[in-house]
């Protein structure tokens, strides 16, 4: 029963984080002007923490170093895409595109880790 509750928690963790991030941003934007920050921008950090915790518990080591190398590869692809598509490199567009792709990649890796945790458990 405890193992099922743990797996269920790791399954709903991203949804809880996204809702909490959206609520926090709505509360903060009522008082200040953080209009350029979205809920996935904040949730990415918590998803990376979730990946770390799940892989640390399932295996002897975490996959966080491999994940960081994958993010470096994504950044190189984004740079190459921008240079090819725009003909030059824009820092603002790079960071925005890279961070959004980081969120999507983190979400995919998170659910792959969750499926691995189910298959091992």
What pLDDT is recorded for position 31? 57
Whole-angstrom CA distances from 18 to 42, 47, 73 are 8, 10, 26
Distance, CA of 49 to CA of 55 (rounded, Å): 10
Each residue's pLDDT tens digit, 12-58? 888 888 888 888 777 776 555 556 778 888 889 989 998 998 888 78
What pLDDT is recorded for position 115? 87
What pLDDT is recorded for position 27? 75
């Amino acid at each position: 029963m405890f193992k099922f509750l743990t797996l269920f928690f790791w399954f709903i963790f991203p949804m809880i984080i996204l809702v909490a991030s959206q609520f926090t941003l709505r509360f903060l934007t009522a008082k200040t002007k953080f209009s350029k920050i979205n809920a996935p921008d904040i949730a990415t950090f918590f998803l990376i923490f979730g990946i770390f915790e799940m892989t640390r518990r399932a295996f002897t080591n975490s996959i966080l170093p491999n994940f960081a190398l994958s993010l470096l590869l994504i950044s190189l692809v984004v740079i190459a895409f921008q240079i090819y598509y725009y003909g030059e490199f824009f820092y603002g567009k790079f960071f925005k595109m890279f961070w959004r792709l980081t969120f999507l990649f983190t979400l995919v890796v998170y659910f792959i880790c969750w499926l691995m945790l189910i298959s091992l458990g």
